[in-house]
Structure 1
């Protein structure tokens, strides 16, 4: 792989700030906007927010029985947590995100960079369908691109999806990989790597066609 530039981010501070940003976003949305479909599977905007709330508000002791009731399927358990959290009023969800903004969640394997990436990607799952600007910081996007191509992005980016492609950001000093080029803004690269085909029209290069094929169901 080609060498990449180095970017240092205070991950804990960045995670806390992104939780505050999601809370502010929730407070700004109407009931109709909360009920709109997001970019994330079959979740509504509010259910995506519920996933982010559940990450900081679910007691560890509650997870094992929920996983058992979900047939030992972690993905199914995660969906149940998100849907349950989304049953609460949006204002209450926003307050929880603010109160627990500094909650030190560090998932195994994916770590803090995975937590930051989860917040940034799901924030865009909400903002993009609503036509809202992302306002994401380039240094944080840099950290997420490093994470998604660093071999530890389990559950985010299958290695086959990015294999034999070279990704080049057009708005920051970042590139990775060898092969057909996929170029575009860092935010669009992040969303494409995590399976959001809707952003492919914002990318350029001979590798886009191959990436499109890999994102088909």
Structure 2
């Protein structure tokens, strides 16, 4: 990501990303926000913002985005060995976040990249099985069977939604750009949920966080050790 940002011109850096309200420059800034004292910031957001992670990310990213792109790229390189994880969630949500934000930058700029299948699998499985609260997936995938036709991955039960794994991961994460490459009886429902996410009350947000804290933590492994089915 640091190398990619360094190679972009001012117009590209100002291009709206797939993350609503953020430019390409902002996405780079966001990726620096949790590399130092990440868990402290997450707990601070839970206490001061009632687990409203969208608001927390907006606040932290706006602050980080004041820096130049060159400084952001330098920080990404300097802290690239960070071992910060989401509390009690392991490494999978961290890798998922990086995969998604890579798409956020490359897709609107038309810069192609084949994400290695094992990394895409981590993102697919994490979003489908038990996504961290910060992703805001909620009930978006309820009652749907997700079928990746190029890899054979499946998850869930109900009306089918089919397509290539990359487009599925984008749509599962709430990025509408992935929907046009999908098909199946469940697609209208998924499209409606992506377009109009159901509002989440403070109590619902806190309950989701409490569930993560109370559930047994995942095995202590790195995402790089994950194997695809």
Name the TM tier (shorter chain): 0.7 to 0.9
Quote how far apart the aligned CAs of 1:63 are: 6.9
CA distance in 1, matches of 2:186, 2:46: 39
- Whether the 8 Å contact between 1:106 and 1:112 is mirrored in structure 2 is yes
Unaligned runs of 5+ in 1: 1-21
Name the residue aligned to 2:145: 166
Quote how far apart the aligned CAs of 1:76 are: 2.2
Unaligned runs of 5+ in 2: 197-229
Does 1:196 pair with 2:196? Answer: no
1:21-77 Cα distance to aligned partner (Å, 9 max, x none): x11111111111111111112111111111101121457667777877768754323
TM-score, normalised relative to structure 2? 0.77
Q: 2:111 aligns with which of 132, 145, 148?
A: 132
Cα 1:88/1:175, change in 2 over 3 Å = same
Task: Count how many residue pairs are aligned between Structure 1 and Structure 2.
Answer: 196
Which secondary structure does the structure 2 equivalent of 1:183 belong to? strand
Aligned Cα root-mean-square deviation (Å): 2.3
CA distance in 2, matches of 1:115, 1:180: 29
Which secondary structure does the structure 2 equivalent of 1:166 belong to? strand
1:113-156 Cα distance to aligned partner (Å, 9 max, x none): 10011111111111111111132111111111111111243232
Q: 2:166 aligns with which of 178, 187, 193?
A: 187
Which secondary structure does the structure 2 equivalent of 1:37 belong to? coil
CA distance in 1, matches of 2:136, 2:72: 28
Name the residue aligned to 2:64: 85
CA distance in 1, matches of 2:194, 2:52: 23
